């Protein structure tokens, strides 16, 4: 199934100069970039990304911390397209808690912070990247971060090997 998903390279990934290396991983895996832009999200926009549902699932303090963090610097938003893109991107990004992310995943290779450490510092978990967790989330998040005219359809050389 061909699907689209949203990836955000968070402020820590942008500040550390990891954008190119992360993009290359997705392209090397055969995923197509359908949309790409840099945005500095304000807190109001960040709260639309990290919805009330997050507060219900993980607590209001977690949502507040994530909103503060994602609005602290520029973010690179990427709409990716490919076969089972949501599942495959989630596998590539690794566990949300960097300490538990396996080597070879983006979080496993570029971060190592634990929830306990972040909590002890009263700081967000700096985990480099966000990836949509479901089809519903992907649709909502792509529509939030991109206007329809910012999403592009084209054929890549990889598609000749997939279809």
Q: List the catalytic residues.
A: 130
Nearest CA among 14, 3, 64 for reference residue 37:
14
Distance CA 102, CA 38 (A): 28
Element (H, E) at 82: strand 75-83
Distance CA 87, CA 7 (A): 12
Distance CA 57, CA 6 (A): 21
The 3-state secondary structure of 4-15, one letter per residue: EEEEEECHHHHH
* Cα distances (angstroms) measured from residue 154 to each of 4, 79, 143, 158: 14, 13, 19, 12
Distance CA 151, CA 158 (A): 19
């Amino acid at each position: 199934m061909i699907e689209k998903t949203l990836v955000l390279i968070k402020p820590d990934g942008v500040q550390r100069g990891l954008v190119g290396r992360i993009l290359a991983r997705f392209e090397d895996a055969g995923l197509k970039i359908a949309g790409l832009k840099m945005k500095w999200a304000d807190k109001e926009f960040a709260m639309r990304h990290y919805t009330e549902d997050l507060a219900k699932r993980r607590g209001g303090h977690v949502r507040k911390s994530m909103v503060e963090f994602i609005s602290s610097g520029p973010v690179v938003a990427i709409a990716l397209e490919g076969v089972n893109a949501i599942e495959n991107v989630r596998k590539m990004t690794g566990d949300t808690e960097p300490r538990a992310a396996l080597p070879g995943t983006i979080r496993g290779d570029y971060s190592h912070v634990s929830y306990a450490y972040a909590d002890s510092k009263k700081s967000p978990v700096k985990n480099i990247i966000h990836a949509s967790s479901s089809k519903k989330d992907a649709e909502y998040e792509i529509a939030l971060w991109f206007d329809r005219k910012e999403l592009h359809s084209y054929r890549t050389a990889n598609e000749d090997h997939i279809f």
